[in-house]
Structure 1
Amino acid sequence: MSRVKLLNFICILALFFSSTAYADTYIPVDSLLYDDFRFLEAEGIITTSMLSTLPISRLEGARLTTEALNNASIGNSSRIDRVVSRLEKEFVRELDIAKPAYLKPADTAHLQYAYSDRESFFAKKNRDGLSVRRGNNTFLDLTSRFDSRYVGLAVKPELSIYDDATQLTLKKAYLLANLGREEFMVGKESAWWGPGRNGSILLSTNAEPLTTLKIS
């Protein structure tokens, strides 16, 4: 390879890595953080959100938080101040210029109990296909995530204990990787597509996520 070609190759490689975006895991579609973003959107504090397609990444959440911090002015209502402060604390790592790699073994954990005298049915929306059976039902889930500059990872196992059975299911598991400005995601993660509280392109409001490959 000539020196000119080698120099061109190095320049292209440097340009590629200089434009590489950061990888970060998603904010789950059932997160209360979206209520905060919608409230700030309604108040005119943020104007560039795209909340009709969920989930958004934590980096996008940090960007919206930065917009809110820039647009929030003295004299805002105390509720606006509380919401912006809460978001600033939530995305403190993503707002850090250095954006260090971060592992959170227990990001969220939930323990639920339900008793039913009915046959199996879906208890609520956005529970990844969870069904309640006749009798006692106990559910325990744990979400873990890892975020770094180029790779993000999230897993959510759930233990379901019924009167007649015990099940361990991997409700969510996905790997994110950034290559240049392209983001690749493979795995299972709930999504909302289209306008409306639960999106419009849906077969169910309580479906288990499909295993997909997404490029964006």
Structure 2
Amino acid sequence: MALASRARPTRRLRLPLMLAVIAIAWSARPAFASTYAAYIPLDSSIYDELDTLNDLGLADSYISEIQPISRVEAARITVEAESKLSESQNQNELARSVINSLRLQLPDEVQWIEQDHEDNLPTMFHPIERIEGEYVLSEGTRRSLETGPSGIDYQEGTPLLPNNDNLNTDQGSNEILRWSGWGGVGGFITGYGEGALAGPLTDSPSQASRAQLLTGAVVVSLGNTAISFGQEETSWGVSHYNQLSQSNNGQPFPALRIQNIHPGHLPWVLRYLGLYRYQAFLGQLNAGRTFSKPWLSGHVITFRTLPFFEWGLEHTIMFGGSGNDNYGPGGFLGNLTGLSTGNSSQYNTNTRFGIFGKAYIRRLRDTQIY
């Protein structure tokens, strides 16, 4: 049952409260040494396994609405769940199996957490973190629509493959090989990336034409704050719930992103709101739209006020682009923050604002209502 509220596209929206909360979140960041923040690809099984631990009531500090998360944050949740399971009288075999699987996928990061040694790490490189192969058989005609320069153009991508980064495939047999790795320098600078060979192996005249870089970014960690820039993978909004109105198979795009690595508490009386995570980004989309290369900006903050209740606010705005950028530096800043988005006589914007919540009912077999 979905109760998330969304506004229709609008040209003017003021969100001072949300931006004020994010500003407070930034100012409340803990002051301690930095770590390596390598983000986990959105199609990784790690997210499903963390969701399973959360559903079993073993991951009370996991906030799933903001993705991607870092490997070290996934390891922290794994250690938390294992500790809670060991204290429980019910030794759930499913939970134990999931925890063992996460330990195999995050061996170094789990060791950092267990030994309290995630800060000031030495330089390290993991050139092969994950290799996976896929086979896709696609038949039938894909839908497409071209309505001219002032309309909507689209072409159907590979169906039934969520978080597939808009990988190109053709009709018939398609072989896909994906590879990802990461490295850290100086204890606070992380580089990560994922590449792929995708498409028909036999029909391609040159295998080099099948190669593509899916994601690749550099992350600078300042205490609990991670600032990244590169070809970023996101859920086309910032929160998990924005997939209700946006794509979950969107192509990664160049963007600047900031978020906290581990959840924390806001200062003063706001700490009673519970654990929180936030994320904000600014990126530029490709040219295949009405206004070529528009900007996409998003902000989200999510709270886990109680172990069985989460809620948050999210805001995404698309603005600018070729022929739609009749604004100065002040107008750009107003669009970026959502505080002043002008009017349609100057330029068009598309804004989405959402308030979401999720409740866990433990007595009803951990039923979730959101």
TM-score normalised per structure 1: 0.79
Which of 65, 68, 72 aligns to 1:59? It is 72
Which residue number corresponds to residue 278 of structure 2? none
**Displacement of 1:139 after TM fit?**
2.1
Instruction: Show the 5 A alignment for 1:1-216.
Output: 19-73=32-86, 74-94=89-109, 95-96=111-112, 97=115, 98-99=117-118, 100=121, 101-119=123-141, 121-123=157-159, 124-147=161-184, 149-162=187-200, 163-165=203-205, 166-192=209-235, 193-196=238-241, 199-200=242-243, 203-216=246-259
- CA offsets, 1:91-146, max 9 Å, x none? 33123244444322111122333343434541311111113212442222211211
Which residue number corresponds to residue 6 of structure 1? none
Could you tell me which runs of 5 or more consecutive residues in structure 1 were left unpaired when the two chains were aligned.
1-17
Q: Distance in 2 between matches of 1:40 and 1:137?
A: 34
- CA offsets, 1:164-202, max 9 Å, x none? 553321111011111344321001232233344xx4375
Q: Distance in 1 between matches of 2:232 and 2:183?
A: 15
Q: Name the SS for the 1:89 alignment partner.
A: helix
TM-score normalised per structure 2: 0.49
Q: 1:70 to 1:111 in 2, by over 3 A?
A: closer
Q: 1:117 to 1:170 in 2, by over 3 A?
A: same
Q: Distance in 2 between matches of 1:82 and 1:59?
A: 20
**Displacement of 1:43 after TM fit?**
1.3
Which residue number corresponds to residue 10 of structure 1? none
Q: Name the SS for the 1:66 alignment partner.
A: helix
Q: Distance in 1 between matches of 2:163 and 2:257?
A: 20
Could you tell me which runs of 5 or more consecutive residues in structure 2 were left unpaired when the two chains were aligned.
1-30, 143-156, 260-370
Are the equivalent residues in 2 in contact too, given 1:40–1:68 (CA < 8 A)? yes
**Displacement of 1:203 after TM fit?**
3.0
**Displacement of 1:153 after TM fit?**
1.2
**Displacement of 1:52 after TM fit?**
0.9
Count how many residue pairs are aligned between Structure 1 and Structure 2. 197
Give the superposed CA RMSD.
2.3
**Displacement of 1:158 after TM fit?**
1.4
Q: Distance in 1 between matches of 2:244 and 2:32?
A: 33
**Higher deviation after alignment, 164-173 or 62-71:** 164-173
**Displacement of 1:68 after TM fit?**
0.9
**Displacement of 1:19 after TM fit?**
1.8
Q: Which amino acid is 2:158 matched to?
A: F
Q: 1:195 to 1:127 in 2, by over 3 A?
A: closer
Taking every aligned residue pair, what percent have the same amino acid on both sides? Answer: 22
Q: 1:110 to 1:53 in 2, by over 3 A?
A: same
Which residue number corresponds to residue 11 of structure 1? none
